[in-house]
């Protein structure tokens, strides 16, 4: 049995079909009276539905959330919160919208109620990100952890298969890295294994039958577990590489995770045998790396960096950036090893 320290704040979670209707009660439970609702422009209708449910508890809508939380957007949203005299935020959407809520909370301490509509898992973490002059900086602060999370699978029915699949792979990546994290513990490993099981069984159904509410609920359940894992542990080579590729080469977040994951797992496989065994068992396969690659193929998600906008002549630069600062990972992170990983990921080769 490993030695560990377990010290996690619990987040209030309301899960189930129709739980969106409980939003006003959650705002009142916080003692708040003026909620600013956040969304992307694509999800303005969801924000309007939130306002309809909130009635007099709604202070306004800010619907300009975008990927990677540019500092300019964060400033506009912070100003909107002040202008509307908001005493809490309701973030309805994926990681981008919840990230905007966190940017507001970081400065003002306003409470966030998150209503996730993807599987990214940000709602369960104290991790925030802000992009300034093209550089994305992340940090951890308990202030940005939402006070309550409403998971209503009905809100995910509109998530198109081509976003849902990679988003689910992003969640699986949180679980896998939780299994070999240096600061992991047995409870987090159980959540990670169950998260992988739930996502691996539900994602193919979500993609093949997008209206299947049971599959959507199962995937959202897996996302909750995955987000909890990410919030509790330090990340390794997989998340670091995705961060570098996303930030420097402006590649789409969930798709980068999907492509890199099987290769990051192959990179770590000999150094983290227990994590590999649990991942493979949870996927119901022999090899964790191959199983993850095959799952991505099955859900028609991208498997090659070259197909999601990565220039081949950027691979060396990416390997340099990813090995500049030391970080914990089961296998020591070296330039040659990372470059080989990136070349395999670029071409979309199935790991051996
Ligand atoms: P996203 O939030 O950028 O959403 C992608 C698109 O899908 C958006 O246009 C959004 O409006 C739309 N969408 C979301 N849900 C929908 C639904 N149910 N129906 C129709 N359209 C829907 O994507 P994401 O992958 O959820 O989030 C990515 C961002 O989150 C990245 O910036 C990433 O860094 C961040 N993130 C942060 C953490 C953390 O812990 N801080 C964790 C994971 C991801």
Spacing of C-alpha 46 from chain mean position: 20
- What separation in Å is there between the alpha carbon of 312 and the centre of ligand 1? 26
> Which residue's CA lies nearest to atom 38 of ligand 1?
122
Whether residue 333 has its Cβ less than 6 Å from ligand 1? no
Q: How far is CA 326 from CA 175, 205, 321, 323, 339, in A?
A: 22, 39, 11, 7, 16
Is the confidence at residue 147, as pLDDT, over 90? Answer: yes
Q: How far apart are CA 81 and CA 88, in angstroms?
A: 8
- The residue assigned the tokens 């003692």 is 31
Three-state SS string over 42-108 comes to CCHHHHHHHHHHHHHHEEEEECCCCCCCEHHHHHHHHHHHHHCCCCEEEEEECHHHHHHHHHHHHHH
Is the confidence at residue 134, as pLDDT, over 90? Answer: no
So what's the pLDDT on residue 199? 98
Give the residue among 292, 247, 283, 240 at the shortest CA–CA distance from 265.
292
Q: How far apart are CA 34 and CA 82, in angstroms?
A: 11
Residue 136: strand pairing partners: 131
Whether residue 39 has its Cβ less than 6 Å from ligand 1? no
Closest ligand 1 atom number to CA of residue 254: 25
> Which residue's CA lies nearest to atom 40 of ligand 1?
122
The mean predicted confidence, pLDDT, of the chain is 96
Q: How far apart are CA 183 and CA 126, in angstroms?
A: 16
Q: What are the structure tokens assigned to 242, written together?
A: 């995705």
Give the residue among 88, 87, 115, 104 at the shortest CA–CA distance from 13.
115
**pLDDT band, very low/low/confident/very high, at 247 (cuts 50, 70, 90):** confident
Q: How far is CA 70 from CA 74, 96, 121, in A?
A: 6, 10, 20
**pLDDT band, very low/low/confident/very high, at 325 (cuts 50, 70, 90):** confident
- What separation in Å is there between the alpha carbon of 120 and the centre of ligand 1? 6
> Which residue's CA lies nearest to atom 33 of ligand 1?
95
Quick: pLDDT tens for 88-97. Answer: 999 999 999 9
Burial environment of residue 64 by CB neighbours within 10 A (0 to 12, 13 to 18, 19 or more): middle
- What separation in Å is there between the alpha carbon of 225 and the centre of ligand 1? 17
Closest ligand 1 atom number to CA of residue 243: 34
- Mean pLDDT over residues 42-52, rounded? 98
Backbone angles phi, psi at 68, to 5 degrees: 70, 10
**pLDDT band, very low/low/confident/very high, at 259 (cuts 50, 70, 90):** very high
Q: How far is CA 352 from CA 118, 237, 302, in A?
A: 31, 19, 18
- Mean pLDDT over residues 145-165, rounded? 98
Whether residue 97 has its Cβ less than 6 Å from ligand 1? yes
- What separation in Å is there between the alpha carbon of 167 and the centre of ligand 1? 8
Instruction: Please indicate, yes or no, whether the overall pTM of this predicted structure exceeds 0.95.
Output: yes
- Mean pLDDT over residues 22-26, rounded? 98
Closest ligand 1 atom number to CA of residue 127: 41
Question: Is 38 strand, coil or helix?
Answer: strand
Q: How far apart are CA 113 and CA 132, in angstroms?
A: 26
Identify which has the larger pLDDT, 132 or 289: 289
* Planar angle of CA 204, 153, 45, nearest 5 degrees: 115
Residue 116: strand pairing partners: 93
Q: What are the structure tokens assigned to 294, written together?
A: 């095959």
So what's the pLDDT on residue 91? 99
Closest ligand 1 atom number to CA of residue 156: 18
Whether residue 254 has its Cβ less than 6 Å from ligand 1? yes
**pLDDT band, very low/low/confident/very high, at 215 (cuts 50, 70, 90):** very high
Neighbours of 335 (CB within 10 A): 13
So what's the pLDDT on residue 136? 80
3-state SS of the chain: helix, strand, coil percent to 5? 60, 10, 30
**List of residues 6+ apart from 5 with CB closer than 8 A:** 183, 185
């Amino acid at each position: 049995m490993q030695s560990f320290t377990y010290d996690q704040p619990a987040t209030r979670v309301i899960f189930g079909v129709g739980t969106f209707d409980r939003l006003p009660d959650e705002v009142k439970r916080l003692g708040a009276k003026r909620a600013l609702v956040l969304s992307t422009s694509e999800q303005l209708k969801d924000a309007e539905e939130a306002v309809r449910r909130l009635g007099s508890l709604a202070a306004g809508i800010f619907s300009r959330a975008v990927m990677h939380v540019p500092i300019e957007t964060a400033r506009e949203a912070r100003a909107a919160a002040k202008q509307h005299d908001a005493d809490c935020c309701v973030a309805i959407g994926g990681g981008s919208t919840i990230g905007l809520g966190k940017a507001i909370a970081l400065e003002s301490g306003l409470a966030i109620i998150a209503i996730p509509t993807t599987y990214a898992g940000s709602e369960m973490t104290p991790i925030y990100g802000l992009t300034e002059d093209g550089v994305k900086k992340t940090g951890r602060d308990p202030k940005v952890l939402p006070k309550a999370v409403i998971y209503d699978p009905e809100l995910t029915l509109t998530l198109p298969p081509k976003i849902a699949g990679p988003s689910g792979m992003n969640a699986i990546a949180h679980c896998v890295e939780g299994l070999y994290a240096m600061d992991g513990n047995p409870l987090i490993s159980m959540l990670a294994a169950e998260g992988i099981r739930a996502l691996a069984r539900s994602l193919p159904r979500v993609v093949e039958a997008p209206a299947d509410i049971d599959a959507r609920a199962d995937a959202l359940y897996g996302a909750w577990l995955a987000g909890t894992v990410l919030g509790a542990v330090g990340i390794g080579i997989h998340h670091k590489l995705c961060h570098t590729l996303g930030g420097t080469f402006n590649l789409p977040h969930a798709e980068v995770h999907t492509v890199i994951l099987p290769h990051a797992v192959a990179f770590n496989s000999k150094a983290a045998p227990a994590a590999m065994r649990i991942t493979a068992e949870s996927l119901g396969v022999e090899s964790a790396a191959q199983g993850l690659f095959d799952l991505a193929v099955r859900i028609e998600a991208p498997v090659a960096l070259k197909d999601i906008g990565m220039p081949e002549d950027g691979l060396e630069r990416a390997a340099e950036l990813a090995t500049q600062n030391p970080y914990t990972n089961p296998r020591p992170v070296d330039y040659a090893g990372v470059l080989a990983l990136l070349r395999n990921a670029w071409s979309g080769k199935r790991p051996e």
